[in-house]
Amino acid sequence: MRDVAALAGVGIKTVSRVINREPNVSSATIERVQSAATRLNYHPDIQAGNLRRSDRRTQTLGLLVGSVANPFSGAVHRSIEDAAASRGVAVFASSLDDDPARERVAVSAFLRRRVDGLILTPVSKSQGYLLSEQEHGTPVVFIDREPSGIDADAIVSNNAEGAALATRHLLEQGHRRIAFLGDRHDIWTASERRRGFLEELGRAGVPTGEAWLVEDLHDEHTAHAAIEGLFAGARRPTAVFSAQNLITIGAIRGLRERELQKKVALVGFDDVELGDLLDPGLSVIAQDPDRIGTLAAERVFARLDGDDRPPKTVVVPTTLIERGSGEIRPHE
C-alpha cells in the first residue's frame, strides 16, 4: 500500500480511502491511485485491515459438515457460498466424518482465523465450549442437527415427521413387518428418525418388531450386511425404511443381490442422485439442502447485522417422493 501511495504520489491514507471507496477523494486522485494499484498488481490485505477496523470483520465464514464429498453437504455448502459471495464473504469448509475430535480441531482452526460466523453440523456430545464465542459476538448456527449444551439458532429437517411419513406410507401399502435401518444412535437425526418411525407404528397399533430395528449402521457396507442379516432369517420384513442416504444405497445393493428389489418395499430418507432412474424407482423422503443452506446463511448474516432476538430452530419440511420402490405391496 505504501508502494502504491508512492507511485501515485499521494499519502497512504488516500490510497486506503480509494480502496475502500470512501468519499471525499477527487476523481482525478482516484484515477491515479487505481492505475498505480493495477500497475503494481496490488491486492489489499484484508486481514491486516481488519486488525484495526472497528467492526473487526474478516469477511469469512466457517462451515463444518459431514464431508464436503457428500452430496447433501455439497448442496448445503453451495447455497451458503452463494449467499456469502453476494456479501463478499469467503467460506472455509471442513469435513468432520462425525468425529467429535475433528469438530473441536476444526472449530479451533476457524476461531484462530477469526471467522465472522460459524455454521456447523454438530458431532460432539455438547457444544457448550462454543458458549464463550457466542457471547463474544460470533454467531453460531447449527444445521442438520440441533445443538446441545448451548442455545443457538438451528436449521433442521423435520426428521421425525419425515420418518413418520415414510412409515405411514408403507403402512398404507399394507405392510406390517417393516424394518428400520438407522445410523449411529447417538446422532441426533438418527434418533429423531427412529422416534418418528416407532411413533407412527404405535399410532397404527402395529407391534414393534425389535428384530427389525437395526441401528448403528454408518455406511453402504454395514447397511448391505444388515440386509443380509434381515433376510437370512425365517421371519422376514416385507418393507424396509432406510434412514440415511448411504444406508439406502447399501440397502438397494443388498436387496438386488437377493433379487428382492421388486418384492420388498423400500423408502429412503434423503434423496439420492439418479434415484428416479433405478428399477424400481427409489421412493424417498427428500430433504431440502438448498433451503437449509440458504436459511443458515440468512441467520448468520442477520445475527451479524445485529439481530439479537432469542435463538430459534427453523424446521425445513421434507417431502415424500413416490417412484416405485415404496409402493410395492407386501409379498409372500
Partner DNA sequence: CTGAAAGCGCTAACAG
Partner DNA sequence: CTGTTAGCGCTTTCAG
Kindly compute the dihedral angle of the four CA atoms of residues 162, 70, 141, 64, in this order, to the nearest 10 degrees: 150
Check binding of 113 to a copy of itself (CB under 8 A).
yes
| Residue spans of beta strands (DSSP E) within 107-260 | 117-120, 140-143, 153-157, 178-183, 213-217, 239-242
Nearer to a copy of itself, 92 or 146 (CB): 92
What the block records as the C-alpha cell of 79 is 447455497
Check binding of 166 to a copy of itself (CB under 8 A).
no
Total residues at interface with a copy of itself (CB under 8 A): 51
What the block records as the C-alpha cell of 242 is 432406510
Nearer to a copy of itself, 67 or 173 (CB): 67
What the block records as the C-alpha cell of 316 is 425445513
- Alpha-carbon span 268 to 37, nearest angstrom: 55
Check binding of 51 to a copy of itself (CB under 8 A).
yes
Check binding of 41 to a copy of itself (CB under 8 A).
yes
Nearer to a copy of itself, 88 or 207 (CB): 88
Minimum CB–partner distance for residue 41 and DNA (Å): 12
Chain positions contacting DNA, by CB under 7 A: 1-2, 9-14, 16-17, 19-20, 23-26, 28-29, 44-45, 48-49, 51-55
What the block records as the C-alpha cell of 279 is 428399477
CA distances from 284 to 60, 212, 288, 318, 326 (A): 35, 19, 12, 10, 8
What the block records as the C-alpha cell of 223 is 447397511
Q: Rule CB under 8 A: choose which of 256, 262, 263, 291 binds a copy of itself.
A: 256
Cα–Cα nearest to 314, from 189, 157, 139: 157
8 Å CB contact between 167 and 237: no
Q: Quick one: which segment of 62-70, 139-147, 200-208, 294-302 binds a copy of itself (CB under 8 A)?
A: 62-70
Containing 112, the helix (H) or strand (E) segment is helix 100-112
Q: Rule CB under 8 A: choose which of 78, 177, 184, 236 binds a copy of itself.
A: 78
Check binding of 12 to a copy of itself (CB under 8 A).
no
CA distances from 241 to 150, 212, 248, 251, 291 (A): 32, 10, 8, 9, 24
Check binding of 68 to a copy of itself (CB under 8 A).
yes
- Alpha-carbon span 44 to 183, nearest angstrom: 47
**Which positions from 261 through 300 interact with a copy of itself, judged by CB under 8 A?**
272-275, 277-279
Minimum CB–partner distance for residue 317 and a copy of itself (Å): 21
158, interface contact from DNA, a copy of itself, none, CB < 5-8 Å by kind: none
In the complex, the residues that contact a copy of itself under the rule CB under 8 A are 41, 43-48, 50-51, 58, 60, 67-71, 73-75, 77-78, 81-82, 85, 88, 90-95, 108-114, 132-133, 249, 252-253, 256, 272-275, 277-279
